[in-house]
Structure 1
Amino acid sequence: MGVLSECEYKKISMGHIYYRFKDEKAYMDNIFSFIQAGIENKQQILIIENMRNLPKVQAFIDSSFIEPIKSSIRLVNNYEYYLSHGDFSTQNIVSHFAKDLSYLQKCKCTIRTWAHVEWSSSKPSEELAKEFECVADNFVKDSQILSVCAYPSARLSTGLNLVLEEFHQYVMTDGTLSLSSIYRNL
């Protein structure tokens, strides 16, 4: 399985990317490449990740960068975003996102974000996802940032996958990155 190179991430300076991942190793390699490319581009980076992966991301950061550079990377537990106020609360998610972005915007640098999106229900609501991703897409465009929303493919229905492709400019897998053929640029 191919992994995206830092070069591919550098080509995109802003936009909304839907990443449906299957392979955990490829997922971790892609997040590490995403962070590396952000550092090379002198960007501020927000990583919203689950408790299982946060220590791996922190270990990568600690072993790869010196202290002044580390301060440009903000790690956040995704539980606060997606689960702490019920399943997929759009208002709560956007509020947390805006707060974390304001923290990063103080340096007047460009920003890139990576969010591992999770939900508690066994069958996520397509309508909630549509509402959330529509708001998120507009927020990403208005903020002029690069934002990856990573979803585990094993938990995606065909309908949910279509909704996500519709509200993200780019579609990414463990080894590809392309423009969405059904993106709704509202």
Structure 2
Amino acid sequence: MKEKIGNLLSENQCTHILYSYHDRNRYLENAVAYVLEGIEKGDSVVLIENERNLNVLFKQLNNHLTSDQLKKIHVISNYDFYQSSGSYHPPAIYEQLTKSITPFLENDIPFRSWTNVEWGTLEDPASIIEWFEEETDRAIHEYDLTIVCAYESVKMPDHLEDALKKSHGHIMTDEDIVISKVYSSTN
């Protein structure tokens, strides 16, 4: 998978990737591959992730990266990121995204982002998440960003996954990454 991610990113400087994952171990392997590929390329990485996964990821990353390279990984708790307003509120989340990436943009620091999207107890977040992902897609094209938005497939209703494929240029699974056939750029 690391080779596929590297090939995709060498061909596309700007892309929005929907990752619907089934297997947590494969998810973690793919996250490590994405981070390592970014660091090797000279990018910083904004890693928006839950605490449980961060512990595992950093155990693996510590085996591959120097202390200087590890400093290029900027961690944000996904709980804090998505619940910054006290609930899953897209405008507040979008503001949090903007706040998180502005230092990189203002200082011309190349970066990529990996985001584990979780919405807690919200019963059907489809319309809220769709709005946020469309706004994120606009920002990706405005600033030439590369962002992976990872969703655990068993927690994602089919109608949400179908809608998200329209706002992500690439679709990733635990084993593959392909161009979305239904993507419509919001740019």
Q: TM-score normalized by structure 2?
A: 0.90
Is residue 25 from structure 1 mapped to residue 51 from structure 2 by the alignment?
Answer: no
Deviates more, 1:164-173 or 1:101-110: 101-110
Is residue 37 from structure 1 mapped to residue 37 from structure 2 by the alignment?
Answer: yes
Unaligned 5+ segments in structure 2 are none
- Quick one: distance in 1 between partners of 2:56 and 2:106? 27
Matches within 5 A, 1:143-182: 143-182=143-182
Is residue 111 from structure 1 mapped to residue 107 from structure 2 by the alignment?
Answer: no
Residue aligning to 1:83? 83
Aligned letter for 2:173? Answer: T
Residue aligning to 1:7? 6
**What is the deviation of 1:14?**
1.7
- 8 Å CA contact 1:167–1:184 kept in 2: the answer is yes
Aligned letter for 1:61? Answer: L
Residue 40 and residue 4 in structure 1: after superposition, are their counterparts in 2 closer, same or farther (change >3 A)? closer
- 8 Å CA contact 2:22–2:153 kept in 1: the answer is yes
- Quick one: distance in 2 between partners of 1:46 and 1:22? 23
Deviates more, 1:161-170 or 1:11-20: 11-20
Is residue 96 from structure 1 mapped to residue 102 from structure 2 by the alignment?
Answer: no
Q: Percent identity?
A: 24
**What is the deviation of 1:107?**
4.7
Deviates more, 1:168-177 or 1:49-58: 49-58
Deviates more, 1:84-93 or 1:146-155: 84-93
Aligned letter for 1:180? Answer: S
Aligned letter for 1:147? Answer: I
**What is the deviation of 1:122?**
5.4
- 8 Å CA contact 1:17–1:148 kept in 2: the answer is yes
Aligned letter for 1:104? Answer: F
Residue 66 and residue 4 in structure 1: after superposition, are their counterparts in 2 closer, same or farther (change >3 A)? closer
- Quick one: distance in 2 between partners of 1:48 and 1:26? 18
Residue 62 and residue 4 in structure 1: after superposition, are their counterparts in 2 closer, same or farther (change >3 A)? closer
- 8 Å CA contact 1:83–1:120 kept in 2: the answer is no
Deviations along 1:76-115, whole A, 9 cap, x unmatched?
1001111242443112211221122123345523211000
Q: TM-score normalized by structure 1?
A: 0.91
**What is the deviation of 1:59?**
1.9
Deviations along 1:48-68, whole A, 9 cap, x unmatched?
001111111222232221122
Aligned letter for 1:20? Answer: S
- 8 Å CA contact 1:9–1:34 kept in 2: the answer is no
Unaligned 5+ segments in structure 1 are none
- 8 Å CA contact 1:47–1:74 kept in 2: the answer is yes
What do you get for the CA RMSD once the two structures are aligned?
1.7
Residue aligning to 2:46? 46
- Quick one: distance in 2 between partners of 1:123 and 1:180? 27
